C-alpha cells in the first residue's frame, strides 16, 4: 500500500468540512465519501458530501462487510466504504472525515497507513456559538452535539496530532504541514 489515510475528526461544528474543502484543493488527497442514513442538510449534495442512503441499504452493506468502519451517531448510521478506500490507498493518500469511534477502528485495521488528526475548537463556548450560527440544528440537537463534543475531546489522546481551529488559514496550514511531514517519514 502506497498512501496514507489521513483521518480528520472534530466535534460537529468544529469546522472540518470547510477545512476538508481547502485541503482537497491544496494537497494530494482523495476524499472518501461516507455513507449515511442522516437526511441531507440544506446545501449538501448526494455523492459529494455523503451517499445519502436508507437504513435498509446501510444494514445490507454492514452484513456484507463492505465498510472499513462504521458507527452510529445521534441515531444515524455513518460508514466508510471499504472497497474505495483500499483501492485508493494503493495509489496515494486518502482523506476521511469521521468520528472518534470510526477513527479508532481505522487505526486498528490500517495501523501503518492511518494518521489521526483531531481538530478542536478553541473552546466549547466557541463551538456552541458556531453551532448556533449555522442554524441547521434546533436547541435540543445543539445540546446533544455539545455533550458529544465534550466526550470526543476527552478521547484526544488516541490521536497522532491535535490542531486547534482558531483561525481557518492557520489550521489548514498546520494540517498541510502534517501531510507533508508524513509524506517524508521513513
Ligand atoms: P454530521 O451529521 O454532522 O455530518 O456528522 C456527524 C458525525 O459523524 C461527525 O463527527 C462526522 O465526522 C461523523 N462521520 C461522518 N461520516 C462518518 C463515517 O463514515 N464514519 C464515522 N465513523 N463517522 C462519520
CA–CA–CA angle 46, 51, 57 (5° rounding): 130
Distance separating alpha carbons of residues 45 and 25, to the nearest angstrom: 18
Q: Which domains does the chain have, with CATH numbers?
A: 5-184 (3.40.50.300)
Ligand 1: centre distance to CA 99 (Å):
5
Ligand 1: centre distance to CA 126 (Å):
20
Q: Tens-digit pLDDT profile for the chain (186 aa)?
A: 589 999 999 987 777 888 999 999 999 999 999 999 999 988 899 999 999 999 999 999 999 999 999 999 889 999 999 999 999 999 999 999 999 999 999 999 999 999 999 999 888 898 899 888 888 888 998 999 899 899 999 999 999 999 999 999 999 999 999 999 999 998
**Nearest C-alpha to atom 17 of ligand 1 is from which residue?**
98
For residue 31, what is the enclosing H or E element? strand 30-31
**Nearest C-alpha to atom 1 of ligand 1 is from which residue?**
12
**Nearest C-alpha to atom 16 of ligand 1 is from which residue?**
98
Q: Is the CB of 97 under 6 A from ligand 1?
A: yes
Amino acid at each position: 500500500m502506497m498512501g496514507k489515510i489521513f483521518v480528520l475528526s472534530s466535534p460537529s461544528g468544529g469546522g472540518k468540512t470547510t477545512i476538508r474543502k481547502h485541503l482537497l484543493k491544496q494537497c494530494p488527497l482523495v476524499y472518501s465519501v461516507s455513507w449515511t442514513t442522516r437526511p441531507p442538510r440544506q446545501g449538501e449534495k448526494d455523492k459529494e458530501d455523503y451517499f445519502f442512503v436508507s437504513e435498509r441499504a446501510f444494514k445490507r452493506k454492514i452484513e456484507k462487510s463492505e465498510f472499513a468502519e462504521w458507527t452510529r451517531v445521534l441515531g444515524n448510521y455513518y460508514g466508510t466504504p471499504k472497497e474505495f478506500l483500499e483501492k485508493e490507498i494503493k495509489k496515494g493518500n486518502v482523506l476521511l472525515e469521521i468520528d472518534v469511534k470510526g477513527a479508532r477502528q481505522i487505526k486498528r485495521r490500517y495501523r501503518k497507513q492511518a494518521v489521526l488528526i483531531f481538530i478542536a475548537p478553541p473552546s466549547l463556548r466557541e463551538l456552541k456559538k458556531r453551532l448556533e450560527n449555522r442554524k441547521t440544528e434546533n436547541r435540543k440537537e445543539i445540546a446533544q452535539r455539545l455533550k458529544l463534543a465534550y466526550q470526543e475531546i476527552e478521547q484526544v489522546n488516541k490521536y497522532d496530532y491535535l490542531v486547534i481551529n482558531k483561525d481557518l488559514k492557520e489550521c489548514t496550514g498546520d494540517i498541510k504541514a502534517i501531510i507533508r511531514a508524513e509524506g517524508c517519514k521513513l
